[in-house]
């Protein structure tokens, strides 16, 4: 698992131990020492030699590492463009068969909040970060078509302990559902190259996963239990605000573009 020092990496660290004999954890930043059944390999994704060392001997990769929000182009290129290329090259060289790629809802951020998208909807990234995730999805497609490396591109919504605002009532993914989703991606007999939206079973949703039924993901949590509290602590939305009109929320209007 790359990105092991990050928010989702920390949330999945103990959960993913149940999925493997040895869980190798990696990040640019230092990690807590390896526990039983763990290995720790510090690596910068933009360093090919370090990534080759990190990947050697792995059966599967859960790729959380990289820039996770809108930022200037230079760091995005290093981590999310060069980094994901290095990862797939290392996967090819070392015979890794399956990757779970943490893509993002921001690949589709310029769809409106009254539209429903599925795996065949054309990407409409909402910034450089979303664009870099679209590149990650495309390179994973290339490495499947050429080399047969299976990838689940998981367009994660908003994965936090609780939804933080009204938008996240549609995009929220609980940590337990994220673990269920990763498990489904790692264990389904035939994954191929697949795109799946990563959200819990929220009543309001902009995502249709009917093209990902072969993965067998059944979310068991829902943002609905937080709805009343979120409405009570947040203001009425300004319907003229692009952050309220588009699925990407505030991401559609931040950054250097």
- 3-class DSSP state for residue 142? helix
3 versus 125: smaller Cβ distance to ligand NAI: 3
Instruction: Work out whether 149 is an interface residue with ligand NAI (CB under 6 A).
Output: no
Which residues ranging from 131 to 160 are in contact with ligand 15L (CB under 6 A)? 158
Q: Which of 85, 111, 129, 143 is catalytic?
A: 129
User: Which whole-number Å values give the CA distances from 104 to 92, 93, 173, in the listed order?
Assistant: 24, 27, 12
The C-alpha atoms of residue 249 and residue 69 are separated, in whole angstroms, by 12
Instruction: Work out whether 225 is an interface residue with ligand 15L (CB under 6 A).
Output: no
Instruction: Work out whether 104 is an interface residue with ligand 15L (CB under 6 A).
Output: yes
Instruction: Work out whether 80 is an interface residue with ligand 15L (CB under 6 A).
Output: no
Which residues ranging from 84 to 113 are in contact with ligand NAI (CB under 6 A)? 102, 104
Q: Cβ distance 176 to 220 under 8 Å? A: yes
With both helix axes pointing from N to C terminus, report the angle between 7-16 and 175-187 in degrees, rounded to the nearest 10: 60
Residue 32: which residues within 8 A CB-CB, separation 6 or more? 40
Q: Nearest approach, Cβ of 44 to ligand NAI (angstroms)?
A: 5
Whether residue 129 lies in the annotated active site: yes
Instruction: Work out whether 64 is an interface residue with ligand NAI (CB under 6 A).
Output: yes
Instruction: Work out whether 46 is an interface residue with ligand NAI (CB under 6 A).
Output: yes
The DSSP symbol for 100 reads: E
| Residues at the site binding ligand 15L, with contacts judged by CB under 6 A | 68-69, 104-106, 158, 171, 249
**Active-site amino acid positions:** 129
């Amino acid at each position: 698992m790359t990105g092991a020092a990050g928010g989702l990496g920390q949330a999945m660290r103990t959960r993913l131990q149940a999925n493997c004999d040895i869980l190798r954890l990696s990040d640019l930043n230092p990690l807590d020492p390896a526990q039983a059944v763990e290995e720790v390999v510090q690596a910068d994704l933009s360093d090919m030699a370090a990534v080759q060392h990190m990947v050697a001997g792995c059966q599967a990769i859960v790729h959380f590492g990289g820039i996770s929000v809108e930022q200037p182009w230079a760091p995005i290129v290093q981590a999310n463009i060069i980094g994901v290329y290095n990862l797939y090259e290392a996967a090819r060289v070392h015979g890794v068969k399956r990757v779970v790629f943490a893509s993002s809802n921001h690949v589709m951020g310029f769809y409106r909040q009254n539209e429903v998208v599925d795996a065949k909807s054309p990407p409409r990234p909402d910034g450089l970060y979303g664009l870099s995730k679209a590149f990650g999805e495309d390179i994973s497609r290339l490495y499947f078509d050429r080399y047969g490396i299976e990838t689940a591109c998981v367009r994660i919504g908003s994965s936090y302990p609780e939804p933080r605002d009204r938008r996240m009532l549609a995009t929220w993914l609980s940590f337990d559902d994220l673990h269920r989703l990763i498990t489904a991606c790692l264990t389904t007999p035939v994954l191929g190259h697949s795109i799946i939206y990563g959200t819990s079973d929220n009543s309001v949703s902009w995502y249709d996963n009917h093209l990902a039924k072969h993965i067998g993901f059944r979310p068991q949590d829902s943002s609905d239990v937080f709805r009343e509290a979120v409405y009570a602590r947040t203001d009425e939305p300004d319907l003229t605000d692009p952050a309220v009109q588009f699925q990407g929320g505030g991401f559609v209007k931040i950054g250097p573009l």
